[in-house]
Amino acid sequence: MQPFVKIYDNPQLLAHSLSLEIAHRSAFSKKHRQSLNLALSGGTTPTLLIETMAQSLYNTQIHWKNIRFFWGDERCVPPQDPQSNFGVVQQSLFSVISIPKSRIMRIHGETKPEKAAENYNKQLTKFLPLNSENIPVFDWILLGIGTDGHTASLFPNSDTLSDTNFCAVATHPTSGQKRVTLTLPVINAARRISFLVTGAEKQKLVSRILKKEKSVSNLPAAMVHPKNGILEWWLDADAAKDI
């Protein structure tokens, strides 16, 4: 199935549209007495989304008690560290809304990386339904993409690309920083995956991935192919110039 591509004039419009989509999806979950199992991402565009959802226009429309929040990856730092993906959401969103702590499934980056990955793996199998291959299934995963083609903390040519565990310890190729990340089997088992990409510096990469060029087929972002789900690319005009 071809991915769905949505293009907006600027990052702000993208974030507003996606916030409204999350509000609609949470309303569906409330109506059917379900939980929306949603995995968030770090990065500039996802952070803008978090800040937008916190605005009164949206935070009063979103049914927070019907969303169970997870993360696609986390840096191995304490939650109060500025680099913490959870910390950004805590400061920008959770601090201004009413949400039970039981709905927040964070990765404990302050513990040893292997222990954090082990504990997160247990959370995934406890709270998510399993498919026929016993892989946890997210309702929706939001992903960013780096200029090197990495997504979550899956980096090019890294061992984590072939890891069959549900989550793994990753190492940043430049800084050496340890991270915990969802792996490709779990990402590709999701019902819906949305890449959020803005900025001219990523336009050529986005174009090459969407055109399925061989030269980028081994990049982590190009390896995201949901088996039984929907793949979307939410782009601003700058990121979409070459498609």
For residue range 163-206, list pLDDT tens digits in order.
Answer: 999 999 999 999 999 999 999 999 999 999 999 999 999 999 99
Residue 163's domain spans which residues? 30-222
Asked whether residue 5 is assigned to any structural domain, the reply reads no
- Residue 20 CA: distances (Å) to CA of 10, 26, 35, 199, 243: 16, 10, 17, 22, 25
Asked whether residue 241 is assigned to any structural domain, the reply reads no
Confidence grade of residue 1 (pLDDT, cut at 50, 70, 90): confident
Q: What's the pLDDT tens digit per position in 204-230?
A: 999 999 999 999 999 999 999 999 999
Asked whether residue 200 is assigned to any structural domain, the reply reads yes
Asked whether residue 232 is assigned to any structural domain, the reply reads no
**Mean pLDDT score across all residues of the chain:** 97
Residue-wise DSSP of 206-217: HHHHHTT-GGGT
Tell me how many domains the chain contains: 1
Residue-wise DSSP of 83-142: T-HHHHHIIIIITTS---GGGB----TTS-HHHHHHHHHHHHHHHS-B-TTS-B--SEEE
Tokens of 136: 């946890």
Q: What's the pLDDT tens digit per position in 145-154?
A: 999 999 999 9
Tokens of 25: 């999806």
Asked whether residue 108 is assigned to any structural domain, the reply reads yes
Q: What is the CATH number of the domain that holds 147?
A: 3.40.50.1360
Kind plus residue range of the DSSP H or E element containing 50? helix 44-53
Model pTM greater than 0.85?
yes
Taking the C-alpha atoms of residue 71 and residue 92, their distance in angstroms, rounded to an integer, is 15
pLDDT value of position 43: 86
Asked whether residue 135 is assigned to any structural domain, the reply reads yes
Q: Which of 48, 39, 26, 25 is nearest to 143 (CA)?
A: 39
Alpha helix locations (H) across 129-239? 184-187, 203-210
Asked whether residue 86 is assigned to any structural domain, the reply reads yes
Taking the C-alpha atoms of residue 71 and residue 77, their distance in angstroms, rounded to an integer, is 14
Asked whether residue 40 is assigned to any structural domain, the reply reads yes
